[in-house]
Amino acid sequence: ELDEQETARLKAIDQFVFTKLNDDKTGHDYAHIQRVIKMAQRLGESFSTIDLFVVVASAALHDVIDEKIVNDQVAAQQEVKTFLQQQGVSAARIDAVFAIITHMSFSKNLEHHYQLSIEGQIVQDADRLDAIGAIGIGRAFYYGGAHGHIMYDPKVAPRTKMTHDQYRQDEIVINHFYEKLLKLADLMNTEVGRQIGRQRTKILTDFLAEFKAEWNQNK
Please report, for residues 7, 132, 133, 167, the alpha-carbon distance to residue 158 in angstroms, rounded to integers and kept in the order given.
44, 18, 20, 11
**Position of minimal CB gap to ligand ADP:** 105
CB of 126 vs Ni ion, minimal distance in Å:
9
Give Cα 175 to chain centroid, integer Å.
18
The minimum distance between CB 137 and ligand ADP, in angstroms, equals 9
Residue from the set 140, 184, 185, 188 that interacts with ligand ADP by CB under 6 A: 140
**Smallest gap, in angstroms, from Cβ of residue 84 to ligand ADP?**
21
State the nearest-atom distance from the C-beta of 4 to ligand ADP, in Å: 33
Q: Note the residues at the interface with Ni ion (CB under 5 A).
A: 63, 127
Helix (H, G, I), strand (E, B) or coil at 170: coil
Nearer to Ni ion, 119 or 127 (CB): 127
8-state DSSP, 72: -
Among 9, 20, 176, 200, binds ligand ADP (CB under 6 A): 176
Considering the complex, state which of residue 84 and residue 110 has its C-beta at the smaller distance from ligand ADP.
110
Contact assessment for residue 80 and residue 44, using Cβ atoms and an 8 Å cutoff: no
Which of 43, 89, 129, 131 binds ligand ADP (CB under 6 A)? It is 131
| 105 lines the binding site for ligand ADP (CB under 6 A) | yes
Give the whole-angstrom CA distance, residue 91 versus residue 105: 23
Cα separations in angstroms, 101 against 9, 58, 59, 135: 18, 6, 8, 22
Footprint on residues 54-83 left by ligand ADP (CB under 6 A): 66, 68
Q: Are 203 and 133 in contact (CB under 8 A)?
A: yes
Q: For residues 134 and 203, what is the distance between their CA atoms, to the nearest angstrom?
A: 7
Q: What residues make contact with ligand ADP under the rule CB under 6 A?
A: 27, 66, 68, 105-107, 131, 136, 139-140, 143-144, 149, 170, 173, 176, 181
